[in-house]
Structure 1
Amino acid sequence: MTARRIIQPVVDLQRRPDGPRDRQLLYGDTVKVAERISGWSRVTSDKDSYTGWVASEHLGSTLSESHRITVPATHAYERADMKSRDLTSLSYGSKVKMLSEQNGFLETELGFIPSVHCAPITEKAVDPVAVAELFLGTPYLWGGNSRFGLDCSGLVQVGLLACGIACPGDSGEQERVLGASVPDDTPAKRGDLLFWKGHVAWVSGPNMLVHANAHHMAVAFEPMDQAIARIQAQGDGPVTAHKRL
């Protein structure tokens, strides 16, 4: 298999060539290409082993990235000047290579990115819920993995990957492999995960969740007891697991 890199800000990882989106890949994500057919490549994502199809034009040569984006979204500018023309936008977790540093900007292969929006790629976040909370108000998007749209499992994954913790892309697999089950009578605490059939939410504090959900069509806070009752009432069933990392 051939190693390649995503060279667009956000790329859909599709179930089949020109098919539905299953997940998304970000600028700088690396993949292994298994086959190419008529402008499409079947790839496996290095960050979570998710397999799907991407347009071959969105793949480029691998690069030794040095920094990652640590704010919900940022711009790459034509010059080291916030008033210069913006060339593209990048989401949290995108990876770039620093060529130089000038006047508070990192010069990268895409243009100049504010230094305060970046961190060395070796530097990890420490609180996955704090990462998730950066995305409050982000629109809900089925299969989304970026500031421009997230789903429930994407919100869990972005927090854990930022902290250097391996995380699958789908909520069902997350329920299976993440953390340890918590007894029913144990109070939930920040950083716990609650799972339903087809849904997952972070516990952000006493009786409070943060999750990407179709009810709000956004990443939002919601009282835990209210969310549990609402999800049950709409026919999606009870909590299936309470996990602690």
Structure 2
Amino acid sequence: MTDRRRLPMNARVAAAHLENAPEDLEKVTGTAARIGVPVADLLRAPDGARDRQLVYGEPVTVFEDRGGWSFLQAAKDGYAGYVPSASLTAPFEATHWVSAPATHAYSADDFKSPETHALSHGSRVQVLGGTGRFLQTNLGFIPACHLAPLGVHPGDPAAVADLFLGTPYLWGGNSRFGIDCSGLVQAALLACGTPCPGDSDMQEAELGEPAPPGDYQRGDLLFWKGHVALVRDAETLIHANAHDMAVAIEPIAAAIARIEAQGDGPVTAHKRLG
């Protein structure tokens, strides 16, 4: 694999399993960790551009910790990059994920108690106890209705995408606090248990099969150069887009015409998931 986005190798170290890595690089097996902050930018280089984001509790493999930066690879999609080392925490046994658009962890099982953390959809936590309105977790008390056990998945990616309606557009974003087009599709598919890469070009190349032209069905994916949207029904789609600077619902025909008129070209693929 030569795509640097999913290549666990930098100028000093390479993952031990990589074949044909340069001989002068240190070969490392990596150590397990989890994201320990609500949202961490996954950067192309230390202090560099954001490629993607990781949310609390996501598992990662760390290959280098140097100068306050950790070079790592995300378990969810294989994306490699840098995060501040301080944003990581030791591995823990996650039992539940945040299935609501967002939630808070509270200091007690009382919604009037001080909140301790704000968490995005997709965050992973360890439930320690509780059977009432709140579950006690490693971060505090979280409303039980906002959590689902790991391995329990909704069946409708479009319904998951709807949870993000109004979320601000953020290039490279992967959370309820800010998200981009491919981040929205990835969040929707991963929530439903469907593996999904991080960027729209990867998604176009790797997801689904070509669908009949004009036959739009709920859950289909529409691709443009550098953009992706999720079909809600025969007439509408949902996407995170810079036109609205938010996640929005738009008529399919209007979106196709608008995107082409603004110079971003025609639809490049219409894919249907199995």
Alignment of 1:131 onto 2:160: yes
What is the aligned residue count?
244
Cα offsets for 1:90-113 (capped at 9, x unmatched) = 001100001110541111111100
Which residue of structure 2 aligns with residue 180 of structure 1?
209
Listed one character per residue, the Cα deviations across residues 171-216 of structure 1 (whole Å, up to 9, x for unaligned) are 00000000001232x5111100000000000010121010000000
Partner of 1:190: 218
- In the alignment, what sits opposite 2:190? 161
List alignment gaps of at least 5 residues for structure 1: none
CA distance in 2, matches of 1:208, 1:119: 29
Q: Structure 1: how far apart are the matches of 2:39 and 2:135?
A: 21
SS of the residue corresponding to residue 131 of structure 1 reads: helix
Which residue matches 1:89?
118
Query: TM-score under structure 1 normalisation?
Result: 0.98
One-letter code aligned to 1:238: P
Query: When the two structures are superposed, what TM-score results if normalisation uses the length of structure 2?
Result: 0.88
Q: Which has the larger radius of gyration?
A: 2
Q: Does 2:69 correspond to 1:40? A: yes
1:55 pairs with 2:69? no
Matches of 1:215 and 1:95 in 2, distance apart? 31
- 2:143 corresponds in structure 1 to 114
Q: Which runs of 5+ in 2 are unaligned?
A: 1-29
For 2:34, give the aligned amino acid.
Answer: R
Identical aligned residues as a percent: 59
Q: Which runs of 4+ in 1 moved over 2 A?
A: none
Provide the rounded CA distance (Å) in 2 between the counterparts of 1:220 and 1:210: 6
| Match for residue 215 of structure 1 among 243, 260, 266 | 243
- Greater relative contact order: 1 or 2 (C-alpha under 8 angstroms, separation 6 or more)? 1
Report the 3-state secondary structure (helix = DSSP H, G, I; strand = E; otherwise coil) of the residue aligned with 1:16.
Answer: coil
User: Which of 160, 170, 176 is the aligned partner of 1:147?
Assistant: 176
Cα deviation code 1:15-55 (max 9, x no counterpart): 10011111000101011111122000111000000011000
